[in-house]
Amino acid sequence: MQHISQSPVDPEFVQNPYPFYDRARALGPVVYWDEYQMPCVFGQAAANAILRDRRFGREVPESKRQPIAPHTAPFYAIEAHSMLELEPPTHTRLRSLVLRAFTSRRINELRPEIEALTHQLIDDFPAGPFDLIEAFAQVIPVVIISRLLGVPEEMKDDLLRWSHDMVAMYQANRTRELEDIAARSSAAFSDFMRSYVEERRAKPADDLITHLIGAEEAGEKLSTDELITTCILLLNAGHEATVHGIGNGVKTLLEQGGPKDWLGEAKLAGTIEELLRFDPPLHMFTRWAYEEIDVMGHVFQPGDQVGVMLAAAGRDPGAWEDAHIFNPERPLKPHLAFGVGLHFCVGAPLARLELAASLPILFQRLPDLRLTEPPQFADRYHFHGLTRLMVEG
């Protein structure tokens, strides 16, 4: 297995990690990334194989579990009940209960609300250059998920802050200060959700929290801790990914000279999938090996961790012709922006709907939208999202 070195906080890498992905992919199907101290896969075939293989999983093997530092306990108390970090049978029970409440019908019913919110936000855009992330991309996901859960919209600033603070625990430049902030926000988020869940137990409403409380399968229900974690997961994961999905998508379209006819009804689905393939919001997702497994000639041992490079897989020239060219008219084929297999993103249908409902309206209302300064990506790898997106139109 070949080694490769690249700091994930190097400014040049943060702004454009794709040349590094190309270099790493050229070294073989499994490459050891020195800074992460683990093997990683950068090609579509290997990434797809690992994500689908039940012999790999998210749950940390017992032999690799580390004591939780006391100052991070509030964060990991939430993580302990997250279906994102669990494997069957617990994962199966949690996911099936969540999907009973988080139905496609319930999601599709949100389209008119997303469209109305999009128009409202555009109406409020200031004259002159403004930050589209703050005025648009950040607002849509947090307002919609708040409405879906039944959480008061006036809490959105707190929800945004708590979400940002918590997901900082996954980024490459994590520090003790970030850990302390994440712990405080985790405790505040958990306390808020606990009080809200108890309120909904006493006063049911037509919202996702009430439906999650009522969800039952084979006599099983979600515990209060599981409910709290699930709501936080939906808010954090759904919000972070969709903000970056909208921001990266608008950036890509503007850099291509505008959307042309790509956002028309006939091509919209293909455009959304191409935006997600071309520059997705999450670049790395890790797995643990639970037994000895051969992946394209590299044998993983039980307890080995592997980095699955989702964005690199989406630019694999072995899977896509002209992989580095944005082409919404290319034949549709599955990408890995939302993962695949057991841990495929529960919120993917909502994220796709938010992109498909908001982007056409944005460019219909503002056909002359343009960048006013070069976009800059935030130093938050392995998330890939903009610090701001200054536009005028």
Residue 143 contacts residue 117 (beta carbons within 8 Å): yes
Separation of alpha carbons 279 and 382, rounded Å: 13
Q: Which are the contacts of 87, defined by CB distance < 8 A and separation ≥ 6?
A: 57, 58, 59, 342
Q: What is the pLDDT of residues 255-303, one digit of tens each?
A: 999 888 899 988 999 999 999 999 999 999 999 999 999 999 999 999 9
Print the domain residue range for 346: 3-392
Token pair, residue 177, equals 């200060």
pLDDT of residue 218: 64
Task: State how far Cα 207 lies from the chain centre.
Answer: 23
pTM: 0.93
Identify whether 119 is preceded by a cis peptide bond (ω within 30 of 0). Answer: no
Let me know how many helices (H) and strands (E) the chain has, helices first.
16, 13
Task: State how far Cα 215 lies from the chain centre.
Answer: 25
pLDDT of residue 349: 92
Among 191, 280, 278, 268, CA closest to 228:
191
How many domains does the chain fold into? 1
Stretches in the chain below the pLDDT threshold 50: none
Q: What's the angle, vertex CA 163, arms to CA 161 and CA 169, rounded to 5? A: 110
Read off the DSSP letter of residue 217: B
Q: Which residues pair with 370 in a beta bridge?
A: 392
Q: Could you list the beta-strand ranges (E) of the chain.
A: 3-4, 31-33, 38-41, 56-57, 130-131, 284-289, 293-295, 298-300, 305-309, 370-371, 376-377, 386-388, 390-392
pLDDT of residue 89: 92
List the CATH number of the domain containing 249.
Answer: 1.10.630.10
Separation of alpha carbons 272 and 264, rounded Å: 11
Among 381, 286, 325, 307, CA closest to 42:
307
SS (H, E, C) 246-283: HHHHHHHHHHCCCCCCCCCCCCHHHHHHHHHHHCCCEC
Supply the Cα-derived Rg of the chain in whole angstroms: 21
